[in-house]
A and B are shown apart, each in its own frame.
Chain A
C-alpha cells in the first residue's frame, strides 16, 4: 500500500530560484490496484515517483510505502519497491543473469534463492535464450524483459512505473502494459505515470491528474467522467488542467 501525505518537493535553481516540483500531493493506492498518475511533461510525475522510491527526499510531507516511512526508513522502502522507468537502464557489460543476480544480492537475497527466482522469471518472461548474453547487444524487447526481471527479483509488494513505455514500439509497449496488469493480478500495489491518455484508460483503476506539481483531480474513470461531464479522457484532462499556453 502507498499512502502519500502532503508530499512536497522544492528544487533550488540558481537561475530560476525555488521550483515547486511537487506541492502537497496526497493520495492512497491499495494492493491489487493500479493508480495512474496522468500529467504532461514537467508536471511533477517523475518527482512524485522518485519521492516514493526514496531517490529524492521530500521537502515537506511524507509517504508510507509498504508500511515504511520514506523519510525514516528509505532503505526498507526501496527493498519493498520495484522501480521501472524509461530512464532506468541496464549495465551493458553484464549479462542479463548477472544483472538480475546483482540486484538480488543488493536486496540481500541468498544466492540459492536468487538462482531459483532467475529460473522462474526466465521461464515466465521467456528469457532463456539471451540470459547469458551481454545486455549491450540486446534488442529493446530483451532489455525490457531484463529490466522487468530486475524489478521483480526481490518480489516487491509495491511497483512504481515511471513512463515505462516511453520510446518503445507498439509491441514492446503492449508487453509492458500486460506486465503491469499481471502485477495487479498478483495483488501488488501499482503506481503508473504516463502522459498517454489511452494507457490510463486501459490500465488504471484510479487516475490522478497532476499539473504544475499539484494533484488537481483524482478518481476512477467513471467518477472523473461524471465530475467533468466529459466522456473522453483527453477532454477530462484538458478541462482539469485548464487551457494551455496559446501557440
Chain B
C-alpha cells in the first residue's frame, strides 16, 4: 500500500512538473490549443461553404455539349439546340480531348439517318460521351438524358395518337423522386465523414511535439541525465511523462471538439451572411441555421471520442518510444514525421466509398476507428464491432505503452551516442 502511494506520488510529481513545463512552452500551446481551435471552424465552415458554392455554381451554369453526326437529322438537332438547359457548341474534330480537358462537358452522337429511322419506326441508338466522375459532366449527361427521354416520349405520344391509342398504354404509371433534404446539405454530409477522422489526426499531432520534447528534447538539452540521477524509479518517470503526452493528445482533441461545438452554435448566423445573396436571408428566416454544416449525431460524436481515447494512448506511447530512441529533436522529427502517412493511409481507405466494416478490418488499428466513426456520427451503432474495436485498440495501446516502458529501461537507448 505504502509502495503504491509512493509510486503514485512520484508519478504525480513528474506529471505536475511536465505539465507546468509544457504549459509555459509556446510551441505546445500552439499545437494543443491554437491549431485545433482554428482547424475546426476553418474546415467546417470553409470546406462547407466552398463545396456548397461549387455545387450551386455548377448547377447554375448551363453545360456545354457538342453534337456528333446527325447532319442528316435536322429535326433532332434543332430540338436539342432548342433545349434551354443545354448549350450546344459547334462540333470540333478533337471533341474527345475537349471533354477530357473539361472545355466541353459532354458530346451527343446521333446515328446516321436518325430522323428518318424515327419516321420509319426503326430502332436507333444515341450515344452520350462523358467524363466519368466529373460533376459538371454528370450534370450535362443528366440534362441530355432528360432531353432524349422527353423527345422519345413526344414521339411515342405522336405514334400512339396516330393509331388512336391512349398515352397510358405504354406508360401505365410514372415515378417521381423528390428530395426532402435541402440541396446544401449534400456538401455538408461529405465532410461529415471527415470530422471524426480529424480527431484521430489531431490526437496524433497533439502527442507528437510533447513526445519529442520530453524524450529526445531532454537528451539534447542535457536534462535527461539530471532527472535520471534522481531517486525516482524509471517506471514512475516514464508514466509521469507519458501521462503528459497523453494529456496533450487528448487536450488537442478536446479543444477541437469545443471549437466544433462553438462553430455549430456561432456558425449559423455567420453562415447566413456568407452563404450568399438572397438565399441567405431566406435561410436564416427559415431557421435552417446551418445549411452547409455537416449533420452529425451528437451522441455518436461522444462515442467517437470514447474510441479515440485508447487510440490517443496508442499514439502517445508509440511516439514516446520512438522519440526516446532518437538522440536529438531533429532525429526524433525524422522518425515521427513519416508516421503521419501511416495515420493518413487507413483514414483515406476508410473514406473510400464501399469500404465497409467487417471483423477483419475491425482489428486493423486506426482504420477500424476511422470506419466505425463514420457510422457513429451518422447514428449507426454496431455494438459488436464497437466492442471489438475498442478492445483491440486498448490491447494495441497496452502493448505500445509496455514497449515505451521497456525502451525507457534500456540504457543503450537512454545514453545513445
Please give the residue numbers on chain A whose beta carbons come within 8 Å of chain B beta carbons, in ascending order.
Answer: 11-12, 50, 53, 55-57, 75-76, 78-79, 81, 83, 85, 87-94, 98, 102-103, 105-108, 134, 150
Contacts and interface: CB of A to CB of B under 8 A. Distances in A.
Given A93-B21, A93-B25, A105-B13, A88 B229 contact: yes
Contacts of B230: 78, 103, 106-107
Interface stretch (B52-60, B218-226, B255-263): B218-226
A75 B17 CA distance: 20
Contacts of A134: 24
Contacts of A102: 13, 17
Contact of B223 (A56, A81, A89, A108): A89
Nearest to A102: B17
A88 B13 contact: no
A81 B231 CA distance: 9
A44 to B, nearest CB: 14
A81 B229 contact: yes
Contact of B231 (A79, A89, A91): A79
B232 interface: yes
B26 to A, nearest CB: 10
Interface size grouping (class) on chain B: 20 to 34
The 9 closest A-B pairs by CB, nearest first: A89-B222, A79-B231, A83-B229, A78-B231, A88-B226, A106-B230, A93-B24, A105-B13, A106-B232
Given A55-B229, A92-B221, A93-B24, A106 B10 contact: yes
Judged by DSSP, the binding face of A is mixed
Contacts of A56: 411, 415
A190 to B, nearest CB: 16
B345 interface: no
B171 interface: no
B348 interface: no
A105 B232 CA distance: 9
Nearest to A101: B17
B288 interface: no
10 contacts: A53-B229, A55-B229, A55-B415, A75-B231, A83-B229, A88-B225, A88-B229, A98-B17, A106-B227, A107-B230
Given A55-B411, A106-B230, 4 more contacts: A89-B223, A91-B223, A106-B231, A108-B9
Nearest to B17: A102
A75 B222 CA distance: 21
A246 B415 CA distance: 31
A94 B231 contact: no
B384 interface: no
